[in-house]
Amino acid sequence: MTTRHMLADDDLTPTEQSAVLDLAEHLKTDRHAEQPLAGPRAVAVIFDKPTLRTQLSFATGVAELGGYPMSVDGSLAQIGTRESIADVARVIGRQVSAIVWRTHGQDRLEELASHVDVPVINALTDDYHPCQLLADLLTIREHKGGTAGRTLAYLGDGANNMAHSYLLSCAMAGMHVRIGTPTAHRPAADVLARAETIAAEQGGSVLVTADPVTAADGADVLATDTWVSMGMEGEKGDRTGQSSPFAAFAVTRELLAHAAGDAIVLHCLPAYRGLEIEAEVIDGDQSVVWDEAENRLHAQKALMTFLLTASS
């Protein structure tokens, strides 16, 4: 049987994505219903980038699935520097049942996956954040009664990993996806083309606009992310200063008023109040960010269960 990985959002089919979300809903009500890692079997969880929610949710999730989370400090391991990615993969892949990696380049993750026979899960790269999107879709299901036909507007940096994952995952879920972003920060052309194809197949649509009001108009969900992604700290002044290109795309009460009256607000965290989102919005009645953060646990447990079962 072929080993299944989750390197980008569309490594699942739309049907599989729906099944993983169904399982996540079940695991939220019965947290120990699945034990695919009973033994315990170990999962290597490797971090090259800062983490809070990812570390916590994977450590807790692996334990609740009956396994043992082996946390690896990327700064000590120096994968790809001290020894090659291929050699590291051959060592780790013989000792654990799955590998979770939060790293920089998507190419690093893909190279690792090409040298192991256990599932590899993208816990964030510069290009995609698929685990976050499973949690977001689970949250939308809970608060909007489903995803198909719903409209999500993402405001902010349209070229970052969250924008890319919103495009792919929401299109797979049959949603209408709008990206409100400055023209100079549009999504990567290949990701946009893939999302448009998927949306056409699933009954959704994709729109990229430089007008934040057009993006937010009547939307069921508003989502945003920091304007300074990890690895872009050197651009912080340009991205957050008085002339920030993203200033008009901040999720404020004024912009939220253009969305549907019962719209919900998502933010993957950490949030910077007063920049990409107004404090009164993230702390307001329409914010569901704390459910979204909790759902990382349930969604990732469902994903690990699916990949381990499909690869066995």
Q: Known binding site: residues? A: 78, 102, 129-132, 161, 225, 229-230, 268-269, 296
Q: Which run of H or E residues covers position 11?
A: none
Measure the CA–CA gap between 205 and 236, rounded to whole angstroms: 32
Please enumerate, by residue number, every residue annotated as part of a binding site for L-ornithine. Answer: 161, 225, 229-230
Asked whether 160 and 133 are in contact (CB, 8 A), the reply is no
The residues annotated with a catalytic role in the active site are 102, 129, 132, 225, 268, 296
Q: Can you tell me the distance from the alpha carbon of 255 to that of 216, in angstroms, rounded to the nearest whole number?
A: 7
Query: Is-contact 7 120, C-beta < 8 A?
Result: yes
Buried b or exposed e, range 253-286, using 16+ CB within 10 angstroms: eebbebbbeebbbbbbbebeeebbbbeebbeeeb
Q: Which amino acid is located at 285 in the chain?
A: D
Give the integer Cα–Cα distance in Å for 226 and 239.
10
Residue type at 109 in one-letter notation: L
Known binding-site residue numbers for carbamoyl phosphate: 78, 102, 129-132, 268-269, 296
